[in-house]
Amino acid sequence: MEPGPPQSLSERRPQLSVERLVDELEPPWRFDAVRFDTYIPDPNHPSQPEAVAVLAAFAAGIGGGPAGGSGLRSWFSRKPAAPTGPRGVYLDGGYGVGKTHLLASLWHAAPVPSHQKAFGTFVELTNLVGALGFQETVRVLGRYKLLCIDEFELDDPGDTVLVSSLLSKLVDAGVSLAATSNTLPGKLGEGRFAAADFLREIQGLSAHFRPLRIDGEDYRHRGLPEAPPPYADEVVTKTARTSFGASLDHFPHLLGHLSQVHPSRYGALIEGVRLVCLTGVEPVPDQSTALRLVVLADRLYDAEIPVIASGVPFDRLFGEDMLRGGYRKKYYRAISRLTALARDAGNFDGGA
């Protein structure tokens, strides 16, 4: 059986129901099997095993269970009385130190049913508010006992106020919180536009979390070869046409299409695709386009979809001004993840 013509992501216009947005508040399937005991700490960085121990105690206390001997019980009490200390943990560290692995492990370890715990990225959380409205989102998430937020980012004052207010309501409802980011809670917004305008909101938000610093090197590059160089256009096109489940897009056309699809739908955009093939990769022209590409890179990485491309290497996608600017952490994360997916493409089996 021969593969059919490759699909084009640029021709897809997925629609998502509110029910699907809520149902998808679980760890990406690439993290289905992760647990605390599958996390491999870097022996050169003691903060990594220390974080596992703290998170294991955190998980044990969610839903009213024992919090162990760590003195953390008051964080997670479901009693009506307002908590006196933080109700959550905040995993801070660089790219590829395993923060999402640990966050997903916490979700799996929490001793409550799946329908009582939620897991989503910061972008998915803000998209949920956009779809449901603030009060309905508070009502829906307030029924959970644990909310895990991955890739916590504050890109503008509006999102800062929105998320700060949402988390405050959820804390009042007794929801335990856990989040990952590359910036400590008290430092959110530094290096971003108009940071001084929402510093007060950031400081209030940080009070909900106990920060856990996780040091280390990007595991995606730890002892691994450098990302493969780009392929020729002809190789990318031939691979797309001879592989089952491949998509084929000219990179500038795909970037233009992303501007017409809400980022909450990027996961649906790549649904059913086994290999993404891109021709003519070039540096992104502006910041809005770059931020949309970051979301797409996150969804591709979550779904473990390899990427084969021609044009410039992925480490040249974002210009020097972008890599020095307020969103540099997002851009470095995208480079790291796309590099890993490009490496995965070398082992792709194009058969059915």
**CATH fold for the domain made of 41-214:** Rossmann fold (3.40.50)
What percent helix, strand, coil does the chain show, rounded to 5?
Answer: 50, 15, 40
pLDDT averages per 10-residue partition of the chain, 352 residues: 86 85 86 94 90 94 56 38 64 81 96 94 84 91 94 71 87 92 66 52 73 75 63 96 95 97 88 96 95 93 94 93 85 89 83 61
Res 30: pLDDT:
82
Res 142: pLDDT:
94
- Spatial CA neighbour of 252 closest among 330, 317, 331, 302: 317
Q: What is the DSSP letter of 211?
A: E
Q: At what angle do helices 328-345 and 287-302 cross, to 10 degrees?
A: 50
Indicate yes or no: pTM above 0.75. Answer: no
Q: What are the strands, taking DSSP E only, across 225-292?
A: 246-250, 275-281
Res 139: pLDDT:
93
Res 190: pLDDT:
60
DSSP conformation letters of 123-171: HHHHHHHHHH-HHHHHHHHTT-SEEEEES----SHHHHHHHHHHHHHHH
Give the other-Cβ count within 10 Å of 288's Cβ.
Answer: 11
Res 18: pLDDT:
77
Q: Where are the domains of the chain?
A: 41-214, 221-345
Residues forming a β-bridge with 90: 179, 211
- Residue given tokens 């979809």 in the structure block: 305
